[in-house]
Amino acid sequence: MKIIDLRSDTVTVPTSAMREAMHTAAVGDDVFGDDPTVHDLETRASAMIGKEAALFTASGTMSNVISVLVTCKRGDEVILGDASHMFLNEAGAMSALAGAHPHTIPNHEDGTLDLDDIRNAIRGNDEHWPRTRVVCLENTHNRCFGAVLTPDYTASVAEITKEHGLFLYLDGARIFNAAVALKKDVKEFTRHVDATSFCLSKGLSAPIGSIICGSREFIHEARRARKMLGGGMRQVGVIAAPGIIALDQMIERLEEDHQTARILADGIAQISRLRIESGRVCTNIVYFDLAGDAIDPDAFLAQVADHGVWMCKTGTRRFRMVTHHGITKSDVHATVSILHNVIEKKEARPIE
Ligand SMILES: Cc1ncc(COP(=O)(O)O)c(C=O)c1O
């Protein structure tokens, strides 16, 4: 049976061009700064993102915690959304490894943070309080329906962080999805932030890696923090090489993932008992809810999987599907009919 794996865009596999590039990559010891392929990848990335320098890291989570390590002393405070990946899904890294104190404010459903909430969260100079150091945004926003934060919104947040002498960091794991969705240069989304990271191993389909981009000084410190985390890698050109292919060949095609997500969302909208705000879907992430209580959500998940469609359950009755390079239009049509059959034929076991 063919598996349609919609759990995440992290399930993408390297293309044959990537495997070939891995095979022929020039390598050196990157801790000595000797790996020409890593150097090439970092140089291209910083130029594309519009920052002075870049650093290749093992994962998005590592990039995020490095950025907190560089900007915060122990006990300093990070303002971020309560639905952000950095708060929800990184094993508490900012507290455990950087000793930083997360101060969450609610994410709106469009992924933004209310500007007044940000202003109110910033601490004054009182010995009772942690020192606020950083505000973090996420673009596109994973939990918030893959929403795109606009350059104008990012600029409004930057006005606040500048006024208060704070660092503005962007978890841009899927920043190229944002750029493709709004048909704008990615620099529009990054120029207002002090530093950003983005992932090579999600929609861009490289097997591994994330990149932090920022000022030369910031990246110098980030390199030290990466070393401290054990992330100083040696002949790493073999895994940087597919990252170069990702930047050269895999960005524009993200538009296809947005189209398949749209088809999927429109199809799901036609299925009784499934609730989706399909108008919200603008990139590659689709969330929907199982309405009522006639169908058991775990049984639904299992039975859809029995038909070869894998998705994630992200709430009591909420599910997430993410489209990517391995998913075609016919896969999403097949997915919609499987969901329809499981629901309409009531294959999913009713709650006793
Ligand atoms: C928005 C966001 N940030 C960061 C990450 C972490 O990336 P990694 O899995 O490479 O650690 C993810 C992973 O899905 C993500 O969705």
Q: Angle 297-306/329-344 helices, nearest 10 degrees?
A: 130
Contacts of 210 (CB under 8 A, 6+ apart): 56, 57, 58, 59, 60, 62, 63, 173, 197, 198, 199, 200, 201
Task: Reply yes or no on whether the pLDDT at 347 is more than 80.
Answer: no
The verdict on the CB of residue 140 being under 6 Å from ligand 1 is no
Residue 151 near ligand 1, beta carbon < 6 Å: no
Please tell me the residue having the least CA distance from ligand 1 atom 9: 60
Q: What pLDDT is stored for residue 346 in this prediction? A: 61
Distance 128 CA to ligand 1 centre (A): 33
In this structure, what DSSP letter does residue 327 have?
-
Q: At 90, is the pLDDT very low, low, confident or very high (cuts 50, 70, 90)?
A: very high
Q: Is 60 in the pocket of ligand 1 (CB under 6 A)?
A: yes
Q: How do residues 10-47 score in pLDDT, each as one tens digit? A: 999 999 999 999 999 999 999 999 999 999 999 999 99
pLDDT(166) > 60: yes
Ligand 1 test: best mutation among 145, 199, 312, most atoms within 8 Å of CB?
A: 199
Q: Over the chain, what is the mean pLDDT?
A: 96
Distance from Cα 210 to the centre of ligand 1, integer Å? 9
Spacing, Cα 33 to ligand 1 middle (Å) = 26
pTM value surpassing 0.85 = yes
Which ligand 1 atom is at minimum distance from the Cα of 62? 11
Per-residue pLDDT at 351 exceeds 90: no
What pLDDT shows up at residue 278? 82
Ligand 1 center to 21 CA (angstroms): 24
Is 209 touching ligand 1 by the criterion CB < 6 Å?
Answer: no
Answer whether 112 contacts ligand 1 (Cβ < 6 A). Answer: no
DSSP label at 37? H
pLDDT of 197 reads 98
Stretch 201-227: mean pLDDT: 98
Q: Give the residue, out of 57, 97, 142, with the most ligand 1 atoms within 8 A of its beta carbon, to mutate for a pocket test.
A: 142
- Amino acid letter for position 300: F
Taken in order 69, 137, 92, 203, the sign of the CA dihedral is negative
Q: Which residues belong to CATH 3.40.640.10 in the chain?
A: 11-249
What confidence tens digit (pLDDT) does each residue in 139-148 have?
999 999 999 9
CATH number of 11-249: 3.40.640.10
Q: Stretch 68-85: mean pLDDT, rounded?
A: 98
Atom of ligand 1 nearest to the CA of 174: 1
pLDDT, tens digit, 9 for 90 and up, residues 231-281: 999 999 999 999 999 999 999 999 999 999 999 999 999 999 999 988 889
* CA distance linking residue 66 with residue 221, whole number of Å: 9
**pLDDT > 60? residue 352:** no
* pLDDT at site 279: 85
Q: Ligand 1 pocket, 83 CB below 6 A?
A: no
Q: What integer is the mean pLDDT of 70-77?
A: 98
If you measure from the C-alpha of residue 19 to the centroid of ligand 1, how many angstroms do you get, rounded to a whole number? 23
Q: How confident is the model at residue 344 (pLDDT cuts 50, 70, 90)?
A: confident
Q: What is the pLDDT of residue 161?
A: 98
Q: Quote the ligand 1 centre to 308 CA distance (angstroms).
A: 25
Going from the Cα of 10 to the center of ligand 1, the distance in angstroms, rounded, reads: 9
Q: Is residue 350's pLDDT more than 50?
A: no
Q: Is the CB of 197 under 6 A from ligand 1?
A: no
Q: Is 171 in the pocket of ligand 1 (CB under 6 A)?
A: yes
Note the pLDDT of residue 250: 98
CB 169 within 8 A of CB 162: no
C-alpha to C-alpha distance for 339 and 290, rounded to whole angstroms: 11
pLDDT tens readout for residues 101-130: 999 999 999 999 999 999 999 999 999 999
- Specify the CATH superfamily of domain 253-344: Aspartate Aminotransferase, domain 1 (3.90.1150.10)
Q: Which ranges in the chain are annotated with CATH 3.90.1150.10?
A: 253-344
